[in-house]
Structure 1
Amino acid sequence: MVLNLDKDFTPYGLENNIGYNFFTFSGGEQHIKIISELENVPEVTITHRIQSFNDVGTLLLATNALKNMGIKKLHVVLPYFPAARQDRLMVSGEPLSIKVYADIINSQKYESITIFDPHSEVTPALLNNCKVIDNHKFIEQVTQQLSGDLILISPDGGALKKIYKVAAYLQNYEVVECSKSRNVKTGQLTGFKVYANDLQGRDCLIVDDICDGGGTFLGLAKELKAKNAGNLYLAVSHGIFSKGFGELEKHFTKIFTTDSFKTIENKNCIQIKINI
């Protein structure tokens, strides 16, 4: 059976769902009560979209409630793993945030932890019993909606390995590499480069794992157009879009993402549901 802690995120569909009530006490404490009968249920899968420590708290409460009901085997699906970008110590005085989250999740001793398109190899390395869903099917669904004469764009060095794996899976698309520079103290992005002389008016699809504020993609869009790109498209596995779509819509004909982080309603953003 499946317990969907975010009722708008149902990667297994709506069958065999576990019912529950969730509320917050006046003192601020979260509380959950499982209302489905779970006798003779050997294992349960919990799904959740985590955006904050509060969401982790909800997961821990649900885990404890199910264990108290006698469930022996628990699996968890966390498509967007929090703090995945904080996977190395760059500046003195900062935490290795991803390890903090991983240690909390590992302490629950889940039978499996399923994540989607992790930011780097650090996340699955830190998680016990980790199962990774790659972005291949997602990008395949995106390319099916675009022209055949499409170029896949790698926004930076961190995306190179994954985009070549996607290209090998799809077998039909050329890859163009790009790069940028980031000031680790301020986060400022500069020095965008596209390693192609002339894109010959061909449509371009930037493929990456996360879009937060969108600065990387806005900077690249200008450079791609300077290299004679056609229509620009963006496909990101995890759509945070903390600064909205206003600036992105000026440069990208369509934006594609999944429902791994939140539900989005925007006419120029196509959201593809994760199905497991």
Structure 2
Amino acid sequence: MTEITANGEKRLVLASGRAHPELAQEIAKELGTELLPTSAYDFANGETYVRFEESVRGADAFVIQAHPAPINNWIMEQLIMIDSLKRASAKRITVVSPFYPYARQDKKHRGREPISARLMADLYKTAGADRLMSVDLHTAQIQGFFDGPVDHLMAIPLLADYVRTRVDLNKVTVVSPDTGRVRVAEQWAERLGGAPLAFVHKSRDVNVPNSAVSKTVVGQIEGRDCVLIDDMIDTGGTISGAVTVLKNAGARSVIIAATHAVFSDPAAQRLAESGAREVVVTNTLPIPAEKRFEQLTVLSIAPLIARAIHEVFDDGSVTSLFDGRS
């Protein structure tokens, strides 16, 4: 069956795009259900075709899609899936985008720039989405871009619980890669027993994409196990540079922890050669075999997403998943 019934009336349907079928299968398994049978393929000119093979009339539908490269293809597929569900009379449609596309374009730095993260929210709404679910948005303000409920899930408990087993809690320091992540670093520090904080000062040229230079570290990290945290790793240049800064400042070891493993080339090589003892990420994005390396640990985000889907379906509290944290 591809549905769960509650009170003999409600029906839950999980639909998945083709970007990350392994994650969708894990989520379905956690929920004790199966994915909606779907036909999806591309025409010769690149146009995408989607058709669901079972009725979704009156269903509470969740559309799961990851957004690795080529990101625009997977965005379009997800929008088409939403439109298909809407036209097939699904009662409610929730977009499940673990890695929110275009999240870094959330504000204007200069004149005549778009706010593409807002455009994505508008596209989801126009296609027919009623609700949005994502993990560790690049900035919290993105929640306000979507005209409807937004479930902002957090991977900190998953990542921090694992990291706790890998460090000496009496000698650990949480390091933010820049001043903008200090609030998140504080949440990490709380979960690691009140660990002290440090941050890496870096500079960025707004005219050059994927370019930031780590310069100095502010905070006491000499002889300590440093947990370097971020929401995503793209090309790996910034985070690898931060590892070098920390090691040069006397850090005993460095563990990198991030939610989204974008891993655009040459990220895997940079991380493998960075000197970090371990790189811990989640599977919000697929990581192909050629981008995996010895120090990499991948934790599954599927249980968290499945619990959130269950709460939404049962009209429960998604906030309860965060132990009261916002």
Q: Does structure 2 retain, via aligned residues, the 8 Å contact 1:139–1:166?
A: no
Q: Secondary structure at the match of 2:129?
A: coil
Is 1:268 the counterpart of 2:268? The answer is no
Query: C-alpha distance in 1, partners of 2:59/2:102?
Result: 32
Where does residue 27 of structure 2 map in the other structure?
Answer: 12
Q: Secondary structure at the match of 2:23?
A: coil
Q: Secondary structure at the match of 1:213?
A: coil
Q: Which runs of 5+ in 1 are unaligned?
A: none
Match of 2:50 among 14, 18, 32: 32
Bigger proportion of residues as helix: 2
Query: C-alpha distance in 2, partners of 1:191/1:75?
Result: 39
Where does residue 252 of structure 1 map in the other structure?
Answer: 276
Match of 1:105 among 124, 128, 138: 124
**Aligned amino acid, residue 183 of structure 1:** D
Where does residue 115 of structure 2 map in the other structure?
Answer: 96
Aligned length, in residue pairs: 274
- Structure 1 residue 264: deviation in Å? 4.2
**1:68-79 matches, cutoff 5 A:** 68-79=87-98
- Structure 1 residue 212: deviation in Å? 0.7
Where does residue 164 of structure 1 map in the other structure?
Answer: 186
Query: C-alpha distance in 2, partners of 1:157/1:13?
Result: 38
**Aligned amino acid, residue 277 of structure 2:** T
- Mark the CA change 1:127 to 1:143 in structure 2 (over 3 Å): closer, same or farther: same
- Structure 1 residue 244: deviation in Å? 3.2
**Aligned amino acid, residue 285 of structure 2:** F
Query: C-alpha distance in 2, partners of 1:94/1:222?
Result: 33
Q: Does structure 1 retain, via aligned residues, the 8 Å contact 2:237–2:270?
A: no
Deviates more, 1:61-70 or 1:170-179: 170-179
Q: Does structure 2 retain, via aligned residues, the 8 Å contact 1:234–1:255?
A: yes
Is 1:67 the counterpart of 2:86? The answer is yes
Query: C-alpha distance in 2, partners of 1:125/1:179?
Result: 29
Where does residue 195 of structure 1 map in the other structure?
Answer: 218
Q: Does structure 2 retain, via aligned residues, the 8 Å contact 1:135–1:166?
A: no
Query: C-alpha distance in 2, partners of 1:228/1:97?
Result: 40
Q: Secondary structure at the match of 2:21?
A: coil
Please provide the CA RMSD for this pair.
Answer: 2.0
Q: Does structure 1 retain, via aligned residues, the 8 Å contact 2:176–2:198?
A: yes
Give the 4+ runs in structure 1 shifted more than 4 A. Answer: none
Q: Secondary structure at the match of 1:9?
A: helix
- Structure 1 residue 45: deviation in Å? 0.9
Q: Does structure 1 retain, via aligned residues, the 8 Å contact 2:234–2:267?
A: no
Q: Does structure 2 retain, via aligned residues, the 8 Å contact 1:200–1:229?
A: yes
Query: C-alpha distance in 1, partners of 2:223/2:122?
Result: 48
Q: Does structure 2 retain, via aligned residues, the 8 Å contact 1:9–1:48?
A: no
Deviates more, 1:218-227 or 1:204-213: 218-227
**Aligned amino acid, residue 47 of structure 1:** I
- Structure 1 residue 176: deviation in Å? 1.6
Q: Secondary structure at the match of 1:171?
A: coil
Query: C-alpha distance in 2, partners of 1:253/1:240?
Result: 20
Deviates more, 1:210-219 or 1:84-93: 84-93
Q: Does structure 1 retain, via aligned residues, the 8 Å contact 2:102–2:120?
A: yes
Query: C-alpha distance in 1, partners of 2:296/2:35?
Result: 29
Where does residue 316 of structure 2 map in the other structure?
Answer: none
Q: Does structure 2 retain, via aligned residues, the 8 Å contact 1:91–1:185?
A: no
The superposition leaves residues 111-166 of structure 1 with CA deviations (integer Å, 9 ceiling, x where unpaired) of: 32011001112211212311101232222233134123322111101111111123
Identity of aligned residues (%): 20
Where does residue 139 of structure 2 map in the other structure?
Answer: 120
Q: Does structure 2 retain, via aligned residues, the 8 Å contact 1:258–1:273?
A: yes
